[in-house]
Amino acid sequence: MQEKELIPQLFKTEYRKIISVLCKLFGIVHIEIAEDIANDTFLLASETWGLKGIPENPTAWLYTVAKNKTKDYFKRTKIFSEKVAKELKNAQSISHEMELDLSEENINDSQLQMLFAVCNPINSNESQIALALKILCGFGIDEIANALLSTKETINKRLYRAKNTLRENNVDLSFPSGSDLGKRLDNVLSILYLLFNEGYYSSTSKNTISKELCLEAMRLLYILTENDKTNVPKVNALMALFCFHTSRFDARFDQIGQQVVYKKQDKTKWNFELIEKGETYLNTSAKGNQISKYHLEAGIAFWHTRIKVVEKEKWNNILQLYNRLLQIEYSPITALNRTYALAMAENKEIALKQALKIDLKSNHLYHSLLAELYSGIDIQNQIEHLNLALKLTKNENDKLLLMNKINKASG
């Protein structure tokens, strides 16, 4: 592999590890120092490997450089002895030769602690997502702006405010304990769920960015599955949901990038290995006594991956899961999705009556579904709602899909 290909790949996998360990050492209040050392490590790799070639063990090389740069930093500044040591609760004896612990155990612990710190609810959901992409996923400002359909200026301000909030509140990197763990874990799962949805339901037409967001959410969630305290049923349920959704990612778009609706997807493009992994995680999630919304959504996604089942049976199961999901956590979008399952399990007329009761008139998905339910029943209403959906959507792929439907219905 060429140096130009390897360094970006290692940046995605090792940057989060190095910065997490550094932040555990320096404290969250000095996150910029950790970022500088991590960035300088990869900059030196880019310069050195381009001239001397790729070392035999690139990861070990990066870790050695990070350790040396940390030692150099301690020697150059008095901040360690004067400030950092006072802020480290367990600091007994401080040495300028303190070793940066990049053992597998410390890396795993540090990443988990950093995930909880970054996903701290004292920041807004948007800020938590941006911070996760920057610190834990190694995304650049341009990548974050493109992924979140924002500007570099907005992202920079969001990151600055988020880091400042963590500093001002002196957020502790220690692992949550007791009842606090459950609450904090719920928030982490919520942020990863939102991050995944930013990719899966993205309004950007750049499929590579969208898929990368989904994969990053899965990578971060995997960290939780590796720790006994966080490897709980709802974590496995969310991972199952991610696997099932991601398995159909490539089938959701055709060769020219236009969206393909579920019933017309080329099933040979589904990733059946991911589906099997999803089934494993779903089975593991069933070991607990509680059912979360992630369990039910994973169950719905599971039935969407079934091929060799009677359609009526599939949609009946999906409908029942939607019924339970609405009981646990009602949302208009969930109710809207349920009406499609109702149409498939029963008929369009029954589903249409239910859909018209939902107050989502400013949402393009609402009008898209009504158009689907009116098809074959009332062409005039079908076209009217397709036009309303076209007017409301900001997604270029959705616009093309809707225009094709309008032309077909009008023709």
Hey, where are the domains in the chain? 1-89, 109-223, 360-411
Q: How far is CA 49 from the centre of its chain?
A: 32
Q: Are 53 and 110 in contact (CB under 8 A)?
A: no
Over residues 158-191, the pLDDT tens digits come to 999 999 999 999 888 888 888 889 999 999 999 9
- In 35-68, which positions are buried (b, 16+ CB within 10 angstroms) versus exposed (e)? bebbeebbebbeeebeeeebeeebeebbbebbbe
Q: Is the pLDDT of residue 134 over 50?
A: yes
Q: Are 190 and 116 in contact (CB under 8 A)?
A: no
Strand partners for 259: 253
Q: What is the mean pLDDT of residues 211-237?
A: 95
* Coil vs helix vs strand at 331: coil
Among 165, 166, 133, 138, smallest CA distance to 150 is for 133
| Termini Cα distance of the chain | 53
pTM recorded for the entire structure: 0.89
Over residues 19-69, the pLDDT tens digits come to 999 999 988 888 999 999 999 999 999 999 988 999 999 999 999 999 999
